[in-house]
Amino acid sequence: MDFAVIQEYMPLYIEAFILTVKIGWIGIALSLVIGVAAAFVMHFKVPVLSRIAKIYVELFRNTPLLVQLFFIYFALPKIGIQMSAETCGALGLGLLGGSYMAEGFRSGMEAIPASQSESALALGMVKRQMFTSVIFPEALSLSVPAIVANVIFLLKETSVFSAISLMDLMFTAKDLIGLYYNTTEALFMLVMFYIVMLLPVSLIGSYLEKKARLATFGE
């Protein structure tokens, strides 16, 4: 391995890393918002909306991100909806992630026994207080393992961004290999940068899971 090459490529990789992390986390933030909203309407069986949410979840969970990105990036402009590649990447990731997060939150909410809502009501809480102070935080603690797994999954999915010509890590590696044939160095750096991106998430995730377990029912 030639360290001079690594040094030379470094700035390009750092730039690609920042772009990947940025779009990745914007997408993840979006997926959390979509996931909570979809889980809420499905759990409380809000008319019409819960139907739409169900169709959305099935649609996005059962199609690959690559296909979704192609659709958003290449097909939507044909009907006049044009967005930058970055926006498309974040939106695609957010929609894919939202469908996974929705299922995670929903199973969290379903795992809460009815007696929890009842004791909240018995203390004089109104429905809104019951949801914000009891149901939502409990569902969140119960969904931590699912959320962590989804976040890691979504960060890995960023590797398909190159397909809509976003200059992410994958794109940079492929580009450099095509231009200079320093395959070993380029791939080594690709792996390293993905590890740098994911390892902290894994570690923080395990810590959060341990903390959240304390806050669940268990005996």
Under the rule (CB under 8 A), what is the footprint of another protein? 113, 115-116, 118-126, 129, 133-134, 137-138, 140-141, 214-219
Task: Give the nearest distance from C-beta 219 to another protein in angstroms.
Answer: 7
Task: Give the nearest distance from C-beta 127 to another protein in angstroms.
Answer: 9
Task: Give the nearest distance from C-beta 182 to another protein in angstroms.
Answer: 51
Q: Are 197 and 155 in contact (CB under 8 A)?
A: yes
Residue (87 or 117) nearer to another protein, CB: 117
Residue (4 or 219) nearer to another protein, CB: 219
Task: Give the nearest distance from C-beta 148 to another protein in angstroms.
Answer: 17
Residue (4 or 126) nearer to another protein, CB: 126
Residue (141 or 162) nearer to another protein, CB: 141
